[in-house]
Structure 1
Amino acid sequence: MIEHRIGTTRRSDAVQAISRLTIGPVMKWGPLNASTMKLFPLIDRAADLLPRSGRCSHRQIIARSWRGELVTPIDGTTSDGAILYLHGGAFLACGLGTHRRIVERLAWRTGMAVLAVDYRQLPVGVLDDSLEDAEDAFRWLTRNGHPAHQIVLAGDSAGGHLAFATAIRMRDAGLRPAGIVGLSPWLDFDHRPKVAHHNARRDAYIPVRRLRRVGRMAVGSRIEDHHSPVNADLTDLPPALILVGADEVLRVDAELMAERLLDAQVRCTLQVWEGQVHAFPVLADVNPESLAAIEEIVTFTRTSVAAAARGRRTGVTRIGVA
């Protein structure tokens, strides 16, 4: 099912304009090498200094190869479900600090525990390392009171890639999550369809021709079909919700994944939002559309966890097309 959300506010227009004037030139023309990559962690360190929400409690998790932050409502959880959140940043940047606000909002709006994962990324690790950390974090949740069928995998951009790829790995291991949420997910490392799409000129700040190089860096070798979740066997995946901006270049990936999920008889809802930048739900403190998008995620998460719990009680697994 495809839903189009029409109408933007002045704040959304301002975000678009600021992104084009600031982030866009840096993303397009800024040097990308070993020296500049050493600066990327500073983005997350700066964000980590921002005040934390008083509505949530934060527990630091230190694992073998990743660290995380378990965020729960300050008065305790009101649901048995949990969310595994994987941040975006092109496998290069961002972390717990940059994405703390959306994680906090998801925790107190759903009443669930949310585990945000600081997985290995460039230059420390490549895609396989990121996936290994995401899978280990999922299993950490299962070992700490959250059955697989009550966990929703969520992520934006590169984190959306990891959310789908981890769900595929869990399914193959016999552990089916409750649902998958992709926010402007980067799901296909083949940059050619995106170069040919008209959004290559409309996107506020993603330089489409640079995606090929970043993809090669993330993979750590030559890009093959199996590196992209859109090319995987998608049968028997849990329900999915995908949100994307109407003018962003990763709309190509979102629409392709939605089409292939439906072909695989997996329930999927694709929401295309007018006037929104890449991964706009992360900007919930900035504009009302981002807040509205988070409410969509909250509703999907609650519904998916409840449906999975009912299926477990009745011994029935339902796979359908929305």
Structure 2
Amino acid sequence: MTTSAFELCPTPFPLTRQMFAGTSPQAQVLAGILRRTVKPFLDTWARRPGLPWPAELVDIAGRTLPPMKGTTRRAVQLPHCPAEWIQPTGSTGDRAILYLHGGAFLCCGINTHRQLVSRIATAADARVLNVAYRMIPRDPVRAAIDDGVDGYRWLLAHGYTADRIVIAGDSAGGFLTFAVTLEAMRQGLPRPAANVALSPLTDLDPSRKVAHPNASQCAVFPRRAVPVLSTMIEELDARSGSEPSVSPVDDVLVDMPPALIQTGSQEMTFADAELMAERLAASGVPCELQIWQRQVHVFQAAAGFVPEATRAITEIGEYIRRLTAARLAVA
């Protein structure tokens, strides 16, 4: 295991931890639906992960989801993958977001996340580059990180300075949010203004998640799916000759930008969100951890139906505005 940054920094930065109480009827309905549909499907996948599952169909089905009214979009081609540029009507163009979608590194993409991304764009008054990065099992996680760095370079090349760029993502995209930031900085690129992670996966070691009480409470992920995904990533790294994937919680986090992390209190990746927040703070990085009572994994995608999700998007928008405005003022 790589030595984690929290063991290297003796002076921790205070961690801001916010609890958002209350679970609306809509949130309870959503949890019930996911518990009866998505969770059994993922359990079946975890029993037979080697079958030729048509993961690409998930994003194809997402084509029926339009962006939010008041936003425009156009296709962008990065060196190894496509992306989509989403812009709120009337945006000042002061800030940009590099967005990395979730989907366990296996599925989802631009289509499934278009509504969520366009909501965040509107709330933050920011233009968003939504990256359709390469995924497993065809490509290792390293390829996804490289695609994210390419997206960051694209934003820098198109006139956005680092203090006007936020890197954000949900679930596996939360893993990439931190991993892309770390890799960009290792390559000598300037540090972005902030990181925003929604229900992030941050630790590929499944032991902490499986041992947590949420392993039996999560409405989305069955317990057996977590170690299966970790094993798949590890075996693909070895088979492809890629360098082993390093979990963000085990990387050197000193000098990382401030972070906002949102998580549901009963979801499987709560343990990852909490651990990442603690290790960022221990490394001297300002971090805000928002814990939303009994919300499901990436509940923010249900904004417009679940009131807590709509409020969470507002919180994200305010955070991005505040961080980029503060850095612009300093600049």
Taking structure 1 as the reference length, the TM-score comes to: 0.92
Residue among 64, 69, 93 paired with 1:54 = 69
Identity %: 39
Match runs of 1:165-314 below 5 Å: 165-172=179-186, 173-219=188-234, 220-221=236-237, 227-311=246-330, 313=331
User: 1:88 pairs with 70, 77, 102, which one?
Assistant: 102
Matched ranges for 1:14-93 at <5 A: 14-30=29-45, 31-36=48-53, 39-75=54-90, 77-93=91-107
Give the corresponding residue for 1:125. 139
- Matched to 2:185, the amino acid is R
Q: Name which of structure 1's ranges 45-54 and 281-290 shifts more when overlaid on structure 2.
A: 45-54
The Cα of 1:196 is off from its aligned counterpart by: 1.1
State the Cα distance separating 1:71 from its structure 2 match. 0.3
Q: Pick which of 53-62 and 183-192 moved more.
A: 53-62
Cα distance in 2, alignment partners of residues 115 and 178 from structure 1: 16
Write out per-residue CA displacement over residues 256-310 of structure 1, whole angstroms, 9 at most, x where no aligned residue: 1111111111000101111210011122132111110001100110111112223
**Which amino acid in structure 1 is aligned with residue 136 of structure 2?**
L
Of 168-177 and 150-159, more deviation after overlay is shown by 168-177
5+ residue gaps, structure 1: 314-322
Any stretches of 5+ residues in structure 2 without a counterpart? Answer: 1-15
Residues 225, 231 of structure 1: 8 Å contact kept: no
Aligned length: 309
One-letter code aligned to 1:47? G
**Offset of residue 49 of structure 1:** 2.5
In the TM superposition, what is the alpha-carbon distance from 1:134 to its structure 2 partner?
0.5
CA distance in 2, matches of 1:184, 1:198: 17
Deviation per residue, 1:82-130 (Å, 9 max, x gap): 0011000000010011100011112222221111000000233110000
Q: TM-score, length-normalised on structure 2? A: 0.90
Change (3 A) 1:139 1:34: farther
Please identify, of 158-167 and 120-129, the stretch whose mean Cα deviation from structure 2 is larger. 120-129
In structure 1, what residue type is equivalent to 2:317?
Answer: V
One-letter amino acid matched to 2:37: T
Distance in 1 separating the partners of 2:223 and 2:102: 16
Cα separation, partners in 2 of 1:51 and 1:260, compared to 1, 3 Å: closer
In the TM superposition, residue 210 of structure 1 has moved relative to its aligned partner by 2.0
TM-superposed deviation, 1:53: 2.8
Q: Is the 8 A contact 1:153 1:180 kept in 2?
A: yes
Following superposition, the deviation at residue 46 of structure 1 comes to: 1.2
